[in-house]
Chain A
């Protein structure tokens, strides 16, 4: 400004970092969404829709009548953003301008499916490996980002013309083209100053409102930055005195670089024979390595080259260099390839053996030290963990398509901070005295933490050291995930160059780490050793290697789209000069794979199963005259298709079944799904939409609530929440669709099912006798299917003679060839037979001894299968699941526990899964079991059993996790009954970190928090395990909550804390029976306390936003909380007296009379009530000038009672019916008594009854789907009816009921016109959440 000599200037601030600056400079900050919308309204008045894409965030804003009608932003799961494109351009050595031009020109963009930028990146790297032309990849990236935007941000919102594309990314011509094509826009307005729209808007807004901030003292910023101290609690410095770190590692490095090679000393003069040599080639995503060894294993030559998107070029460069250096002295006797590009390069250069990276890395390490027992390998895009015993791989793990905890993550972050990863990173971070705590998990989350810390003024070296810790934490928690870490640990891969990471590993594990010489090329060395050993044993010792001359031949790469099926794979054709034919890569199937081996003669049981299943669908009968009903081939139809097909045919309908899953179906699904959920939900949406496109308007989608029919050991067999709610989700996504959705609860007998079918088909007027007859035939058909399956399974299992793989998982995941990456077929090509899990003869296996609380049907089947597999030495399992699978996050641990020492492979699949990764993992798994079989077949049986202590409560202290202040009511009631009790302290970062350390990070957030709290207490000084009990309620599903206590039991056992007891009453009928053991009046006292504390919370939420003197309301709140606690413990105190005085005191607080909009807060009970978990969301909302109506705790307790009553009714347990009725009477009585003291004072006193909630939610979700979803939906509508300005759905990240609520809220928001937002929490502070919340409240205020 000084430069322009502008005297009359003013400052406006917007943007994510602008907030802090605004605070320091005492300027009002303008929300960037509002700013962007304002500028657009002023400058482009015709624009109704804004696509804004900046460096780190993307927004979609819909304008109507000069106001923001709706908006959406990328959440914690950041889809493609500007900086992502930037990084990829750098990775491909292109300037962003070149990138833009390339993308605009090319007409055939490669298909890069990427929801998350990390996955998109993995996909891109895969394309590079298979030699896709760079310009296709570039264009594909732009399209992926545009599709991401459509899928994750727009999520089915309308795009009203005119549409404007703003933000820095709008300058990218390729992106403009991609948006136009993906959305089908005729016109996309890119304003001239597209990158500055937010800033322009902020200035215009301030000018128009007259809030001009002139003569701002910018110097204040400097003072502020100088005074800043970091806010996060620091970690210990990477290197401390006594570590001897520098002596061990820095010296070692110089030793490595001095003499890693063995001198080549023959050949030149032709007097002696050439040295026999073997070459290993490791083609990785970031680097391509070549190593040549002699017969004795001495390293003759090594090359470490950057792959830089061009694997063929990299290998050719390596061959040229080695050829020049030593080509005349050596004779290559064998070549082996490994790494993600191993197959293509093997064919290209002529390799004798192709092996996966795991085996190669282990061979490399073992050649250096035979006693190595653990290998950490961190490469560019992937990381591996290998456990070795006596020179044999016994276990391994790879990162599952998640790039967090890999080298490229570190590199990207370093680039963001302008630090050279090679020279400066380690130097800076080793100097840090107090490294930041940045959290772990996904790259994008880490990036958020990093930015938050920098914004708060953290020092650069502390942030860098924090990054080193993060990558290690991520690696240990997500890749190693609780597996054994031995004593002799090797750290390999390019990242081992970074001494900061080595130091962080040592600090984090508390063990010494060895970085072996040539750690960057161990894979290639290992491969050379493997090929040497193979060639020695081979009869014919001639290598297939095409010689170093290959570099002189020209290589031509083109690509085309395979149209053989609807997958439309991008196939690359590589032709080498002088050779006939082409090499093909890139297909999902083996159509172009020249090595296809059909001679294995292994029967494909999966095809048998699917053909048998689909044989009950008779398309010819579909041409009948009856009304057409569509059945999407999803979820439980993969098991129960015979039943429903037969039933519908018998009832006279024409059935249209959707096809087998293919890429087209998957794409349809990803574009229509309303909230970020798991892969099968997306596939399900795709199938429904496919049916709609073929003209089917009515689909049959039962809500499967319970598929155990009473004949099983378990009374409850719930499918997961998504399976149960798919009819509601489908209805929310496709409003014009008619969904026939009977409730299927097989425990309730045929009568119930018939009446459900009759009701759901009411418009077709079916008589119950007709349905009865049809159902009988349908059941017979279903039984026939199961019997045939079992017979076949029995005959296969009985005739087993060699090692066989069992594919474990849910039928719709593991057996659907469009979803399971055709793993069984791929196994067959390497001559390994596999069996579907449900063909195993598992009937009669009782797992109730250990897993009596397992309420998921899939969990019961999987654990049964595990027990069977364990008993059969020829069977080994491959577990196929999905990313974000809620039940699997628990079931997997139980599965592992049940299998004992038997290894298994877990594959997680989603729409981004690349075949290559899965095959590598299968191969490595097979190698590892082969080694195991040869070495140590002994298995040990563990005896740890989950135990629910229900005795001796009176002698012990009960520890209650602090979910909310209601926990004090429970503690006080226990004390009142003479049981010593204590509320655990508020969760802190240490407890959270402990929780994450012992869990895989996939469990829901409340589980992590409570587990952390429990472990922290149980491992603290002076903790007496004998006399302590942790209180952790159980549940009967279908949400994951009921499994927390089971998992925590396992973890405590593993920590050697078998004596620590967990008290876990179940929430249905037995809840009260369990609690009744405590003593007289416990129940009554607890309830009194809960109601009283609920009222106290309401007083706080209503008074605090209006108080004149800040802090007054909170002070009174704290005082009364203590008073209530004491009164509840005592025998003679009157709670009602306290309540009466409480009202008076709150009323007496001096208040402002300004009107504030009310925001309803609903969602998952733990996160919504726990201020640590929800990052004080209530305070945040209040700070934005609104007040909160929080859904009460009582609601849940009434609901539990309601469900208990319903179950008692179904079971005809009259004692329980009476009991739950009486309790309800008591609860209502107390509630009404206490509430009367607050009539006329509290505006938010009214809370609807459970039945009212269920009735309100009924149009969106049926009450047969138990859990919090119905409460959240019903309460939302109730709040809207009471005039709230907006709804915030607070949920743990990945929470299943929460995700369902998110999808259904879209419908509610549309129907009622009230803005709704879902805020997921996972323990990582995110700028995005704050910004979203900020914009949301602005939106709500404008409507209030």
Chain B
């Protein structure tokens, strides 16, 4: 393993790859810092940049954007009280308070160091955990993969928040859309209307660009704001030794929390940041100081949200199940490069995997360096007026969806997805379940039918194999708990009214 990592580092430190990582991180920080542009949107928009690149460079560019954007969100959270990405929402609580006192530089410095530490912890865990998990997954057969897909799908209920029913509906629609195209088992054409472009199904990257980038651009046209003004002066960014000492325990704990939340499919950086913030408060000797601008209150969410980045890569690389919406796009990127994520990736492409690990570590290091040196430059970027930015984003959506297959058909798919995404947003239907369903749907169907064919139509095969049985039970619990909770809550409310 160490040898593979060493070779990986050598590849990463070649001029071309290093430039791509630096560019990715810098671009990511800018995207993250601009309110309204999320990490998912950034990766979706810039994915087409990688089509002409070799796998290592392309994937590391996207990972750089991912790590940079999650960190960059804290810049506007601290300076503008507006989180640049949902992942930085918890950073506003203490970050802005500290900046208000005239210590914007100190807040940004703490956020930078914590992000680096959280990201590094998650990369180390990613390197240690995923080969073991992949080894285990090599023994999986169709029944386990079906159970795994069901587990991933059950997460839909938990990420739908208060719109549980609408989340489930969105998930089912996504699953139905995933059946469009030639049935892989029998070769029969389903719902293709004889259109050749639909034989291989809808390109889910187009759907994602539409749902996550274009629909957001539509929304931001309505909420076009005047130029945001930064009042705070950014002074010394390098954190003092006493600050570092203060945040170390919180940072390590939050990095670990973030990583493990990232590993759970469906739970992303926003959830990780809030959980870590609450835990930091619970562990603290002075919990009442949280929210008044203390270092731990910035370190906890920032270490956790960057911790999620490495964690979310674990199920993606080992099982082919994305840990959050951003890694879902990464899955598309890997497939476009001819790499099918899953346990076999560790057998057939071990050097590549370890190069990705090494490169991801370097990306976090660059977050630290750029964050400490270039922060003044990045605070200037927030000044780009959104009336220029939004139209350019729309053009990039078009360019990106065209580049997937060189076809205007994919652009139309993207356009329709964008319009649907916009309407869904207005009607409070969550969009992430559709994407999760689009990715896991084909896997669930294929493995279900494979397992049934192998067992001769006996459904008991899913429950006699231990791993599959456990996963299915966990999936059922994950799916049913929020449903039962919401029913209990509603009946309580009714009783209160009567």
User: Do A and B interact?
Assistant: no
